[in-house]
Amino acid sequence: MFKRMPGDEPHRIVSTTPDTAVVFKPAVVQTPAIITLVIFIARFVAGLFRLAWRHPIALAAVAVPAGLCLTYGWRVALLPVVPALVAMGAWAVLDRPTFLRWVGWRLLAFARWFWIYRRHWQPVMTVAGLARHISGREYVPRLVKVTSDSWADRLTVRMLDGQAAKDWSDRIENLSHGFGSESCRVAVAKAGRLVLTFPRHDPLAAPIAALPIPGTPTVGPVEIGRQEDGSPWLLRLHGTHVLVAGATGAGKGSIIWSAIRGLMPAMRAGLVEIWALDPKLMELSYGKALFGGRYAADPADCADLLDEAVSVMHKRAARFAGVQRSHTPTLDDPFVLVVVDEVAFLTAYQSDRQLRQRISAALATLTTQGRAVGVGVLAALQGPRKEVMNIRNLFPDKIALRLDESEQVDMVLGDGARDRGALADRISPRPERGAGVGYVRLEISPDPIRVRAAYVSDYDIRAMAGEVR
């Protein structure tokens, strides 16, 4: 590269004084223009082949009319184009879902790949620090595929060798700003491949009215609201325990009441009992009539009610032992759902030490042994602070509504949840936009799902309670 220095101790000659006579010059190899041209043409042709291979329909839709237009004039070109457009239009009107699935979303994905992701890919990768410059060569992660659906674009990405998903999840802000989206989710598709999800708009921005009470009694997954992709959000309560954490006004009540609402027919049929612990006296007292006397607000009464639940559980366990290993709700053995609003009032913040220990022990017993005998716990929690968090691990399924600090997200949902896109600290504090919005992490999947609970108003609760009286 450099001119050879005379002598065998060059460092003596090299001087840092400004007027030094020693100059390093890189050797420049002149490339003939023809070689540069050939390389450009080869790249262009390869690009065309790649385009035809990856997007044959889109290319044909442009190339066929253009070819006809050039060869026979625009009138001839219109001959296949007009019927095709009319057929598409008719399809779109007559059967919109299949049209969107087969044509609409694919066209949108192509347009967004062409206009946004392909165009900004290299700059965003470089500035975000996801591309690497090694020995004069630039290595950029490969954008394999873009798909779109009603609310988001999904990018399949081939990471650089040696990269980890965490390198990407640490940069979700760079990525979302870079591609003009509100947020970005990172999920591993398989070894070396990621799927980045960029929502185009927020389908959960508007509140959802209380859902209709189901027609048939069911203890199966209860519809609580909607998921980000528009599908119903079904929450399993029978056979698990659920913890809901959120700052004050985050909408914990709407999850509790939506769950109760979904279980109403089964309650009426005698297959479900809801036992309510309401230490704040505000949330569940509204629907007291629904709980058939299993309602407690005073901490001592709460402890008694929990002990009773534990004793029901033990009795069932003794009867079931050796006979059945899982619970099916019956009139004799209904599913008992213990609903606790603001569980920390009963545990961490309870000043009576004996009572606190009694309640904590009962909760721990219920959550560790209740699953198989049909006793479940649905608990709400306001401030997920350290002293409260030892109860977190007792709950297999967790929901984080709006939280005050980013560290609290992992405290509620478990390590790495925020990195995977559970931005519970960014949920809007305005009730109409953010109340009831949260992230769910189920026992079966590490990826948090964004959801919004339907809002069960005081009027709805009164109507529900009235039905039972």
Task: Name the site residues for ligand ATP (rule: CB under 6 A).
Answer: 207, 246, 248-254, 382, 431, 435-436, 453, 455
**Residue 96 CB neighbours (<10 A):** 11
Asked if residue 251 binds Mg ion (CB under 5 A), the reply is: no
C-beta closer to ligand ATP: residue 207 or 262: 207
- E strands within 137-202? 137-139, 142-148, 152-158, 185-190, 193-199
C-beta closer to ligand ATP: residue 184 or 437: 437
* 125-133, 149-157, 220-228, 278-286 -> range binding Mg ion (CB under 5 A): 278-286
In whole angstroms, give the CA distance from residue 303 to residue 282: 18
C-beta closer to ligand ATP: residue 181 or 382: 382
Q: Which of 104, 251, 253, 287 binds Mg ion (CB under 5 A)?
A: 253
C-beta closer to Mg ion: residue 373 or 388: 388
Q: How far is CA 391 from the centre of its chain?
A: 24
Binding-site residue numbers for ATP are: 246-253
Among Mg ion, ligand ATP, none, what does residue 251 contact (CB within 5–8 Å per kind)?
ligand ATP
| 223 sits in which H/E element | strand 222-227
Q: Is 114 exposed, middle or buried (0-12, 13-18, 19+ CB in 10 A)?
A: middle
In the complex, what is the shortest distance from the CB of residue 272 to Mg ion, in angstroms, rounded to a whole number? Answer: 22
In whole angstroms, give the CA distance from residue 264 to residue 277: 18
In the complex, what is the shortest distance from the CB of residue 225 to ligand ATP, in angstroms, rounded to a whole number? Answer: 7
Residues, the chain: 469
C-beta closer to Mg ion: residue 217 or 249: 249
Q: How far is CA 264 from the centre of its chain?
A: 29
In whole angstroms, give the CA distance from residue 168 to residue 428: 25
In the complex, what is the shortest distance from the CB of residue 199 to ligand ATP, in angstroms, rounded to a whole number? Answer: 19
Strands 142-148 and 132-134: unpaired
* Count of CA atoms in the C-beta half-sphere (13 A) of 346: 32
Q: Phi/psi of residue 336, each to 5°?
A: -100, 115
In the complex, what is the shortest distance from the CB of residue 155 to Mg ion, in angstroms, rounded to a whole number? Answer: 39
Among Mg ion, ligand ATP, none, what does residue 450 contact (CB within 5–8 Å per kind)?
none
Among ligand ATP, Mg ion, none, what does residue 431 contact (CB within 5–8 Å per kind)?
ligand ATP
Among ligand ATP, Mg ion, none, what does residue 254 contact (CB within 5–8 Å per kind)?
ligand ATP
